Chain A
Amino acid sequence: MEHTALLQGIHVKNGKIKTRTLTKATITVRAVIIFLTIFTLIGPFLLKYSTIDWPTAIFYTFDNLKMMFLQPAFNQITFGTAITQIVITLALAFLATILGAFVSFFLAISTAKNLAPASLSNAIIAFNSVIRAVPTVLWVLIFAIVAGLGAVAAVLGMMLHTMAYLTKAYAESFEEIEEGAIEALRASGASWWHIIFHCVLPQSASYLVSWTFLRFETNYGVAIAMGAAAAAGGIGFELFMSSSFYYDLHEVGMITYCALIVAIVLEVIALQIKKRLMTQ
């Protein structure tokens, strides 16, 4: 018993040292987990299901997946077309990323807490969270009313989300720059643009490149979805045609494989870029 007096701050219960202490954080974590568990258990009963014949549905799903992944084949389109469409999808993603990155850079220097006034920064953050809240596909469809369905609407819609995402990422990279470096330049009489181009940009360049490529990878996936949902062209549209119009799952499988290989290559490149830039 006299040991307990020595070990201050250590709680003993039934002769065992209590390893868990209740802080505000642990209580919150527990409450969140309990809430999510209950919601997950009750949730399925709150949904309305139209009648599903489960055994048949599951059987057909596996049958469809078998057709898709084990017997892929091109029927309506050729391999050449698929490659061309993938290049178009990549081009859409690239345009949205590069235009979004360009705008984001200027928004981010007006958002970073160490470079811009707080009121402007908060206004841009609020604006961006509204932009981000609307799904990309809705933006694309809204732009399509004025610009017509196609590449213009798709690129603009994807660009908006890219902009909201990259502004946040860029601003955070800018905020990590040492305050001393900026102060030193300011003290030597450098103009604001001098500070941006000779201190902020070179110091955060590797982060910016890494974030931008990561977003390009995401945009490739988004571009596929936009092709299917908003007729933006590219491999997504072919995917939509072969599944919803021709019901040709062999071709869906083949297209999926093509899109998958490109996506994995992009992911590996993104990882390599991140690794190389972060170790510098």
Chain B
Amino acid sequence: MTTTNFLRMKKWKMTGIIILLLAITYGSSMITDFDVMKGIKSIPGTIAWIATNLIPDAAAMENLPKVLSRLWETIILSVIASTTAAVCAFFFAIFGSKTTQINRILAFSTRLIASVFRNIPVVAWALVLVISFGHNVVTGYFALFISTFGTLVRMFMETIDEASADGVEALNATGATYFQMVFKGVLPDTMPQMLSWLFYMIETNIRSATLIGLLTGTGIGYLFDLHYKRLDYGTLGLITLSIIVVVIAIEFTSNKVRRMIL
């Protein structure tokens, strides 16, 4: 008897959750004017449109040098924003992690700062920075730096917490100083995992750079916006394809490296 009751309870619970989710979905589509049928209908239309229009033609190929130079700029920007943010994030993560914290107040405040940086939408940073720095790579750099920094502190902190509790205890027991403990114990232990996160952020930043570029009028995002508004879909296809190639190339390289170091 008890087992059937338990199963019945579970069934009711599941049904309740499904009904609740459906209700929220319905409510959400009401307030956002999202029409599910229209959404489903526009999927085949978009696929057909992509297949016919988003193909780079001869006229689009003339823009190739321009696209490549913007793309190169975007790659450099993503890499340097990620690496510099990673260095800063490492120190914040050391002070914020439970295993390597110096004291609780410092740990709490570093975690709070990182959380604020991470959760303020990157759009807000970009829109504010563009006012003072103008349509410039520097705007993109700072916007990317801030959001990458926030995310990496969280990732690094989790890595340090997971990886090195035993090592830290052992080093502390031998009388190592704090800096020895960090640079001889924690750093070598967590380096491969942290590099893996860094690669992930470089890849993510190429995509974010497009978004920031669109908003601030810089880089590859600006080029996309320009040709989008001109209805020049051939060039649009070229830009999209080149972004796909770069992101997949970075993903491929980072997977290779990750397999070698982890």
Contact = CB atoms under 8 A, between A and B. Distances in A.
Interface in A48-80: 48-50, 52, 57-58, 60-61, 63-65, 68
Interface string B42-61: 11011001100010000000
Interface string A240-280: 10011001010010011001100110010000000000000
B173 interface: no
B135 to A, nearest CB: 8
Contacts, number: 211
A143 B131 contact: no
A32 B195 contact: yes
A249 B132 contact: no
A137 B32 contact: no
Interface string B131-172: 111111110000000000000000000000000000000000
A90 B84 CA distance: 32
Contacts of B228: 141
A57 B132 CA distance: 5
A123 interface: no
Nearest to B221: A137
B79 A40 contact: yes
A33 B221 CA distance: 29
A208 B52 CA distance: 37
A227 B133 CA distance: 23
Interface residues of A, number: 77
Interface stretch (A146-154, A173-181, A185-193): A146-154
Interface string B239-259: 010011001100100000100
Interface stretch (B20-28, B90-98, B99-107, B175-183): B20-28
A199 interface: no
Given A43-B76, A229-B123, A25 B260 contact: yes
B46 A61 contact: no
A37 B86 CA distance: 12
Given A88-B32, A138-B240, A256-B120, 10 more contacts: A25-B192, A29-B191, A32-B257, A57-B132, A60-B131, A92-B28, A94-B25, A135-B211, A138-B224, A256-B124
27 contacts: A25-B192, A33-B195, A39-B80, A43-B76, A48-B73, A48-B137, A50-B136, A87-B31, A91-B28, A91-B29, A92-B34, A94-B24, A94-B25, A98-B21, A135-B210, A137-B214, A146-B49, A150-B33, A151-B32, A224-B121, A224-B123, A225-B123, A229-B215, A243-B127, A243-B128, A252-B127, A267-B115
